[in-house]
Amino acid sequence: MGRGQKRSWGGGGGRGGGRGANEWKQDKRPKAQQEYLSRNDMSNAAFEEYYLAQDVVPEGEWGAFLAALKRPLPVTFRINGSGRFADHLRDRLQSDFFAQFGDGKLLVDGEQVTPPRSLPWYPNGYAWQLEFSRNQLRKLPLLEEIHKFVVAANDAGSISRQEAVSMVPPLFLDVQPHHRVLDMCAAPGSKTFQLLESLHAGSKPGQTPPGFVMANDADFMRCNLLTHQTKRVCSPCLLVVNHDASRLPASLLPPPLPDGAKPPRLEVRFDRILADVPCSGDGTMRKSPDIWRRWNISGGNSLHAIQLRIALHGAKMLEVGGRMVYSTCTFNPIEDEAVVAELLVRCKGAVELVDVRDCLPDLRRMPGKHTWKVKDRYRFYDTWDEAKEICYKLEESMFSNAQKAALPLERCMRFLPHHGDTGGFFVAVLRKVRELPQEAGGPKPAAAAAAANGSAAAAEEAADEAAEDPQPEDAEAALREAQAAGAEDGEGEGGDAEPKPEGEGAAAAEAAEAAAAPEATPLEAARAAAEAALASAEAAVAAYEAGNCDGASRAAAHADACARRAAAAAAPKRPAQEPRQGQGRPGQGQGHQGQGRKGGNKGGDGEALDAGDQDDDEAAGTTGGQLVNVSWVRGGGGRGRPSGGKFAYLDPVAPLEDEETLTTLFDYYGMPQDFPLRSQLIMRSLDKTPKRLYFVARSVRELLLADSKEVLKVVSTGLKVFERQVVREQVNECAYRLAQEGLPLVLPYITKQRLELPAPLLLELLHHRNIILPGGTEGDTTEKGAPKGVKPTLADPAVLAALEPLKLGCVVCELAAADARALGFAAPAHATASDARALAESGAAAAAAAAAAAAAAAPPPGDDGAEEVTGGLAANAPLAVVAWKGKASLAIMVEKAECLQMIDKLSAELKKYQQVTAASAAK
């Protein structure tokens, strides 16, 4: 999340009020949209004409289809995770709330209230639909209670509000813990959340799966939203990157070998790929009714080319035997079947459609179409031969033909809104059965021949040297060749990144820039870029006049990128300001946020300050303090990195290698030496004392290490596990306290500074946020003058005896094991040295071993080991909070919203247990 953005879920941040506002009672839509909807003018003649001609709706259902599109979309949510804890939340929803609807005949002002219903096709009954009007919500207390519970559970990560059909694509991917997964167009992140859930399915406390998820989006700001959305999974197996999906790096160059030799390039391949591509979005009309007035045929036609490029690039990066899901939220065959059919034709049998009729049998769907019409702004066409001489901005790939009609396109799926009271969606499940042909992005024959005779490494090394060390006299020719090949990748703000040249054009462009950059003055660079922009603009005009719309688009994008480079080169350079000691540069690092002023608690005696309170203006990239040398660093050019590096707007990723800090962490928290802090703990700055420390899965670390040329634009990675703590008037042995979000991962390995509390005492601590220790008297006051006597005093002899040997500083307060079992929570976990070794080995080799054993793995009969499975979710982890032991008080360091959710969860189960116990005693 970027600096200045508010954390928002269910009423916090965004338009229409601050945290805690009741969003269901407010109409937050723009005024123009409200006025449009108030006229009940949901109609569009062009929309109806187009889809009647396409015949996407079964005969006799057109009226129901339109009526469904004009109704508001119901609220749907799903329970996160799986296993015992998800079952417990589902049962509580049914017994505490939904059962009160009885026979379903509740009335509000004569209007019947629709009871909540479970989505029959979603596994285990974990997805639910609510269809309440704002008027009903205001007047029926039961609905208000349900709404409050849903918002609180969403904030805590127990559930996710998500459109029903949006839940479908990840289910068809069938992600397993050992899979390498790519989400090509990931923001805002609800589907990425599902992919991470599947990856962590079956994980026990303190363990990470051998696979990982790479989530990409072309919009940098939406990458921050993606990071925030997936934060609740608490996964170290996520890597968020910022690229045009059709230009994602398909290969990486690892660092030189110990003998100085250049290693072979690493092909980036994935076992599962989700390509939920940008689309015209007419399937979301129920959620965004203003699409009714904005819809036109050019929306889908203009997106067809980029959708096809994304699908082709995804197929290229898919491992043989892997599965890719292509999906859109539109009914348009030009964006749906036309893209899939063209992909299958170009891949020449290397990719096939998977028949998934038996998967999710209760989910109603329509089969894909074999033929369709194509329309420009003037008329419909049936074939390319009919259209190619007279059409306006159409391409041959949009049309069906005899070859495409023979493909099994009926295996595609279209979801219509009146079939399940949902939005509209399209899904196609594809499997790669062999390498792609060269013209579709597969390996070149020369490379295959070199591999056959053992000279592949030499050929790749020669190619790398040619690309990295071009001759200056060839720069001009290379630049011309690059311009002819296509457009370069831009780094503009917002929107989609500009296309980048492929193949020889890309290498030539890189060679030209590398040759020209060292010797060119700013004026010469600006002049050269301006001339390139002019030449590309002229090429775009010529291509357009020749009817090559795709070439014209690429040339225009290149002209725009060159023009921006010219403007940047010509702009006067301002001298960099050195930050004052102890003060950082303005601007917060992207991708991670500390808890800030609201995240911690200074305690009843004012002894502890959260790191965010010490220096809120401190940039994550640097604090102006002493910088450290590390064995490797990725990204962050200009952000605390003395030299080198790319993508200056990103924070660097570097390992924590300070042995003094590492030794302190091991000793203070009693972690086993096998726990992989020394290899998998990273920082997002090069300061000697970074503010936050993150843990990354070994599979993610291996990918980062392989990227020696830093081609991946890493926005966010790692799970925050430690945060620097400032203490006033107290000697603290460890400079870092635990972070609440990383607690589920590291808690099983902590043998010191742990305190078990009985349920009533833990509930009291959560409610008051701090408790006075016997050393603190009622007359004491905090630094701000607040009386400490208003807080309860800890008097439990057993707890005091357990607390006394613990050092001042960070402490983990957790629910006592006996109470946890009695109330249905996960008991405190304690990992072994073998668990720590397994965590350190969960990389690529472990993924391969897991893949080989996945089919044979089966739980033994009667095994109830699922009781301790958390699926990586903090909401399902043992009930524990990070606290601070001061001289006079014990204070928790958790956000208020999370405290409230824990209070609700614990008090509800405690009340039930007491009622059951009382009833048993009465008998």
Residues making up the annotated binding site are: 185-191, 217, 244, 276
Residue of 159, 149, 156 lying closest to 86 (CA atoms) = 159
For residues 294 and 285, the answer to whether their CB atoms sit within 8 Å is no
For residues 794 and 765, the answer to whether their CB atoms sit within 8 Å is no
Where do the H-state alpha helices sit in 322-474?
A: 337-347, 384-387, 402-405, 417-420, 445-452, 456-468
Q: Rounded to whole angstroms, what are the CA distances from 387 to 356, 379, 392, 551, 867?
A: 35, 10, 9, 19, 63
- Please tell me the distance from the alpha carbon of residue 167 to that of residue 176, in angstroms, as a whole number: 17
For residues 164 and 119, the answer to whether their CB atoms sit within 8 Å is yes
- Please tell me the distance from the alpha carbon of residue 536 to that of residue 559, in angstroms, as a whole number: 5
Residue of 402, 404, 385, 403 lying closest to 394 (CA atoms) = 385
108 by Cβ neighbours in 10 Å (0-12 / 13-18 / 19+) ranks as middle
- Cβ-proximal residues to 404 (8 Å cutoff; 6+ apart), any chain: 341, 342, 344, 345, 370
Q: C-alpha angle with apex 600: 762 to 821, nearest 5 degrees?
A: 25
How many CA atoms are closer than 13 Å to the CA of 321, on its beta-carbon side? 3
- Cβ-proximal residues to 92 (8 Å cutoff; 6+ apart), any chain: 908
Residues facing residue 757 across a β-bridge: 815
138 by Cβ neighbours in 10 Å (0-12 / 13-18 / 19+) ranks as middle
- Cβ-proximal residues to 789 (8 Å cutoff; 6+ apart), any chain: 772, 777, 778, 779, 780
Residues making up the annotated binding site for S-adenosyl-L-methionine are: 185-191, 217, 244, 276
- Please tell me the distance from the alpha carbon of residue 668 to that of residue 310, in angstroms, as a whole number: 49
- What is the largest distance, in Å, between two alpha-carbon atoms of the chain? 96
Two tokens, residue 120 = 């029959």
Which is catalytic among the residues 234, 237, 279, 329?
329
Two tokens, residue 273 = 């790929």
Concerning whether 329 is annotated as a catalytic residue, the answer is yes
DSSP at 806: S
For residues 734 and 809, the answer to whether their CB atoms sit within 8 Å is yes
Q: Rounded to whole angstroms, what are the CA distances from 638 to 1, 514, 566?
A: 20, 19, 21
Residue of 353, 343, 327 lying closest to 424 (CA atoms) = 327
What stretch of H or E contains 276?
Answer: strand 270-276
Residues facing residue 655 across a β-bridge: 682
- Please tell me the distance from the alpha carbon of residue 735 to that of residue 746, in angstroms, as a whole number: 17
- Cβ-proximal residues to 207 (8 Å cutoff; 6+ apart), any chain: 835, 838, 839, 842
Any idea which residues carry the catalytic annotation? 329
